[in-house]
Structure 1
Amino acid sequence: MHKIYFMWKVFFIIICIFFCENIYSQSINNNADYIRGFPNKFRTSYDVKNYDISLDFDFNSKSIKGVCKVFFKLLGDLDTLQIDLYENMTIDSIVVDNQLLDYFRYRGAVSILHAFRKSSDNLNLITIYYHGEPHVAIKPPWDGGFVWSKDKEGNPFIGVSVEGVGASLWYPCKDLLSDKPDSVKLRALLPSDLMLVSNGQLREVVLMDNNKTLYNWFVGYPIVNYNVTFYIGKYVHLKDSMQTVDNNWLSLNYYVLNYNKDKAIKHFNQTKKVINSYEHYFGEYPFLRDGFALVESPYAGMEHQSAIAYGNSYKDGYDGYDYSQIGLKEDYIILHEAAHEWWGNSLSMDDLSDMWINEALATYSECLYVELNYGHEMYNRYVNAKRSYMLNDKPSFSAKYFNQMGSFDMYYKGALMFHTIRNVLQNDSLFFNALKQILIGYKYKNISTEVFIKEFNLLTKYDFTDIFYEFLGHTERPLLSYKCVNKKQNVSCRLNWVSDNPNFVMPIEIESKGTRIRLDVKNTRNMFVIKDTEASEIKFLKENLFYFKK
């Protein structure tokens, strides 16, 4: 009887998954990722509270052996619960209350068959034993996965970065960005001549037999799954501290390869200035108990919460390249990734389709850092230099629930969009208050595109919806069609936006004989008369509002 019931349940769940997959893949040419992205009832009926992960490494075979304890609260009764783990990783067993559970796997989904019953306050626990060779990143961090490398002295130098590809690449989890665990424990055993660094606080280091050391790390704040990480190397630990904007003490921790110690001591001095600048705009650093850390990594960088990956070779710009294009002597990785502690880690995207929130605002934060420390003219130069990086290849939005990122234009076009919105509003007090209040309201929470735009509009008392969607929902940048001709002593200008949105309106600024004039331009043809001037004297001011002319 039990076997027949089990088979019927398996059949039913496969049909549900297959049905959803076919519906959604009609519009999206990706028939697998939705399983990890789609919030079906087998995932939304429980809330993860804590992951407790234990790892053992085999450097020779590039494999791991792990145990993951998932503590969760039921939001309703469940007979099937979905956990996610990449297909190439082997599950040895799944245990509840010392009982081996039945389960089946379909692509990345692990459906656990058990009668889970909701109780008032009690947490449930599932323990998953697993092993395997995690996917190796080809071009980290943009192509996620493990990095098994060696430092210049031949020592193991290992890391993992999984934004986009999903945390279930290396540990079993509910791989939905919208469900942040409240805390995470990570324990790992490795040779005693190496150090393991992870997110949060190092609680314990235990010397074991056979020249092994056990590291025990704890993250004391909600954390999005892909931010959980570790680094292995021959590190030295540099310590510092700073006073926050609210007069609390923040610990600064730098884990660097032993031969880079002297470089790091000098180079990481800029960290305090960066954090102070972001606190000026966005409030106190959000992970005070866990501290702030930069960890030397075998890839360029990643915004891992309280343990930022740093692989920029202790150089300004991007590995020595002037990424600012205006000669700014700042380390791009520190500047950009530190901004994510506010935009991405404290306030987090609800779905990968909302990734623009993280990246547009982290990139715009760089611009604000420049304005605060170098002045408004340098700010204008810095933000407008982002134009040259745009690809205009696809929208910055992407389809919801499919684990698909939009265009990388979300960084550059997104920053230019906020620059434009700020100048359309022409009220810095409202603009910065809106950003800060959204951060406060969604601290340690997730936010979707729709909710962000709604909140921003309410706080600024201006409807920017069409501008958000024009910049982010289209492949092309905003395009202004214009023609100005002399008419006696005046100039007649025909202006309109080239847009699929018939109701799109965005002002522009022009200058004539030293006088600035603001014009509200619509998608339909608008005629404006500029008095006492000539067409040759009309100058379009694009440093404050981002668009191209046709």
Structure 2
Amino acid sequence: MMKKRLLLTLFSALCLSTQAQDNNWAWGGPLDPAQATFDVKHYTLRLELAPEARTLGGSVDAVVELVAPTDKIKLNLINAYTVHGVKVDGKKAKYTRGDDALEVQLKQAYQPGRRVTVTVAYAGTPPEAANPPWQGGFTFAKDGNGRHWIGLSSQNEGAKIFMPCKDHPSDEPDEGVDQFISVPAPYQVAANGILVSEKKKGNQVTYHWKTDYSINNYGINFTVGDFAVTRRDYITVEGNTVPMVMYLLRENEQRATELMEILEISLKTQEKYFGEYPFRKEKVGIVETPYLGMEHQTINAYGNKFRFTTVGDAPYDHLLHHELGHEWWGNKVSVKDWADFWVQEGLTTYGDWLFVEEHAGHEAYMRHVKLVARNIRNEKPIIVREKNVDSDEAYHGEIYSKGAYVMHSLRYLLGDEAFFRTLKKFILDPAYTYGNQVTTADLQEYFTRETGQDIKPFFDLYLRTTEVPEVVIEQVSENSYSIRIPNISFTLPMEVRTDAGTRRLELSDKPVEVKSETAPVIDENGWYLKNVSIGESTL
């Protein structure tokens, strides 16, 4: 009964807002064959957001380069918007609309290598987020001074909820994005990259933001509000200067100094393990949002309400640190299929754990990992399929926690020196960064090549199944025990404590005998997710 009442309450609440999102838009999955014929190079957004009316309108240019012969370009744009016209290279073009997409007819079949610019003029009422950022859309809110405060989140929906685009994770605009976003004065727009200009015409102010880096679709973002802007230079681990820019609501301007100091500590910690901040030619950006947060490239959404904690010797904001970590894992390194979503979320979460180790010590790190392990239930594989997975299928809690735990286990398997050296080398390799998107196989093969140790069986077990090593201990004589893992066909090193002390042993489906007056303790420190059972004595 309580469940039924709750559902009715939620349904009523949603009905009260006629503009609330009533669709569950996913993206990814199999690439539409009509979209496999071209590669997106650049987007230009020229949009006007009206806070009072809650409408969005304008145009978007999509510059695409053909990779196969075609006479049409298919873009995604949800049906909430009305398309007012389409041009190809500045000339009016025919198009068809439907199914959250539009198909643009070229004047003839073009050959690979040809670039075309498709311009779509459109307007409408954008979807409001039901539960941002998990169920995204626009969040229309008011700050403490009664001014408009508008956020956008689209990780699970894709960019089609606010712009026409090729909405698939495999295609990022290689040459970046320009955004010309117009809002009424005195509101400001915080967005990706560098602020090129701010031009006022009448009561409207147009902000031109530009990024030259490749960027994933859900990373394209703008936030509107009455902000106080704080700036400070940051010197990267490589000695380069990059501006830290923070957009906070005016009512929270006094929190900027403390938040900036916490941001700098997090930057230094991330850089120690993963190398220089990836977007030093633009900025480190934070904008206060009316929802919890999201990793929008160079302008991370922050809605944690300044709930700071202390980790060892350092002040800490978990939300800020996590979203900042995505600048390395998610923005610099991004996946081409949501099948590998864990690479972005799991490695970022592992970076959260490393903050604990860096500032509170190794024992605190190990305690933290053990606490996390209690809530990993292994109900669903991290990789549900090797490819053609959409955002709904891929997204679940264990791509964070278990994904991080896989990296924790891999660290023990390889040893600290090899693990950290290889991980940093991977994220500094141009073959796997920015526009060169990755798969789990890329990461797996890189570690195997660099360390000389085949980690595929280990990844197969922990990422592609819900199984864990089933360690069986059996007493074979008065002071002797055998240890084996019958459900694996490869070798895993594990710590084994006997009455003689703790040593690292290679365990597999073949029994390993140890001498001890008491039953051995396996992996006492929790390097692996596993089950341990004591078999019946063979005496």
Class of the TM-score when normalised by the shorter of the 2 chains: 0.7 to 0.9
With over 3 angstroms needed to count, the CA separation of the structure-2 counterparts of 1:78 and 1:313, relative to structure 1, is: same
Structure 1 residues 287 and 540: CA distance shift in structure 2, 3 A: closer
Query: Does the 8 Å contact 1:34/1:402 carry over to 2?
Result: no
Counterpart CA distance in 2 for 1:199 and 1:228 is 7
Partner of residue 482, structure 1: 472
Structure 1 position 278, deviation (Å): 1.5
Tell me, which stretches of 5 or more residues in structure 2 are unaligned? 1-23, 534-539
> What are the Cα deviations for residues 162-220 of structure 1, in whole angstroms up to 9, with x where unaligned?
112111111000112111112101111111111111011111011111x2211111112
Residues 328 and 495 of structure 1, relative CA distance in 2, 3 Å threshold: farther
What is the aligned counterpart of 1:82 among 74, 92, 101? 74
User: Among 464, 469, 480, which residue is 2:455 paired with?
Assistant: 464
Corresponding residue of 2:268: 276
Choose which of 450, 453, 463 in structure 1 pairs with 2:444: 453
Q: Quote the residue 2:353 is aligned against.
A: 367
TM-score of the superposed pair, with normalisation by structure 1: 0.86
- Correspondence for 2:388 among 393, 398, 401: 401
Unaligned runs of 5+ in 1: 1-31
What's the CA shift for 1:354? 1.2
Deviation at 1:472, TM superposition (A): 1.8
TM-score, structure 2 normalization: 0.88
Question: Matched residue of 2:131: which SS?
Answer: coil
1:337 is displaced (CA, Å) by 1.0
Q: Structure 1's 34 and 264: CA in aligned 2 closer, same or farther, altered over 3 A?
A: closer
CA root-mean-square deviation: 2.3
Counterparts in 2 of 1:84-123, with a 5 A limit? 84-114=76-106, 115-118=108-111, 123=115
Distance 1:276 1:56, change over 3 A: same
Match of 1:544 in 2: 527
Show the counterpart of 2:178.
185
Deviations 1:286-338 (A, max 9, x none): 10111101110111111110000000011125xxxx9x9x9985210121111
Corresponding position: 1:148 with 2:140:
yes
Residues 332-356 of structure 1: CA deviation (Å, up to 9, x unaligned): 0121111111111011011111110
Is contact 1:512–1:539 with CA below 8 Å preserved after alignment? no
The aligned amino acid for 1:527 is P
1:384–1:416 contact (8 Å) kept in structure 2: no
Query: Counterpart in 2 of 1:10?
Result: none
Distance 1:462 1:186, change over 3 A: same
Q: Trace 1:66-465 onto structure 2 (pairs within 5 A).
A: 66-114=58-106, 115-118=108-111, 123-181=115-173, 182-209=175-202, 211-316=203-308, 330-399=316-385, 400-403=387-390, 404-426=393-415, 428-441=416-429, 442-444=432-434, 445-465=436-456
Specify whether residues 509 and 138 from structure 1 end up closer, same or farther in structure 2 by C-alpha distance, changes over 3 A only: same
In the alignment, residue 516 of structure 1 is paired with which amino acid?
T
1:367 partner letter: W
Q: Does the CA contact (< 8 Å) of 1:485 and 1:535 recur in 2?
A: no
Whole-angstrom distance in 2 between the partners of 1:391 and 1:206: 53
Q: Matched residues in 1 for 2:188 and 2:39: separation?
A: 33
How far 1:535 sits from its partner (Å)? 2.7
CA contact (8 A) 1:35 1:109 kept: no
* Contact preservation (8 Å) 1:296, 1:311: yes
Distance 2:349 2:337 in 1: 19
Q: What CA deviation, in whole Å up to 9, does each residue of 1:505-527 have, x standing for no partner?
A: 423211112522333333x4x33
Change (3 A) 1:538 1:314: closer
- Offset of 1:274 from its aligned partner? 1.2
Question: For the structure 1 residues 388 and 330, does the alpha-carbon distance in structure 2 shift closer, same or farther, using more than 3 Å as the test?
Answer: farther
The aligned length equals 502
Task: Give the letter aligned to residue 423 of structure 1.
Answer: Y
CA distance in structure 1 between the partners assigned to 2:229 and 2:25 by the alignment = 39
1:485 deviates by: 2.4
Superimposed CA distance per residue, residues 131-168 of structure 1 (whole angstroms, 9 cap, x where no aligned partner): 12222211111112111111122211111111121111
How big is each residue's C-alpha offset from its partner over 1:454-475, in whole Å with a ceiling of 9 and x where there is no partner?
Answer: 2222122111112112222223
Could you say which residue in structure 2 is the equivalent of 1:509?
495
* Native 8 Å contact 1:292 1:307 kept in 2: yes
Q: CA deviation at 1:34?
A: 8.5
- 1:393 & 1:537 partners in 2: Cα distance? 29
Partner in structure 1 of residue 14 of structure 2:
none
Structure 1 residue 433 displacement after superposition: 2.3
Amino acid at match of 2:518: A
User: Percent of counterpart pairs with the same letter?
Assistant: 29
Q: What is the CA–CA distance in structure 2 between the aligned matches of 1:232 and 1:497, rounded to whole Å?
A: 57
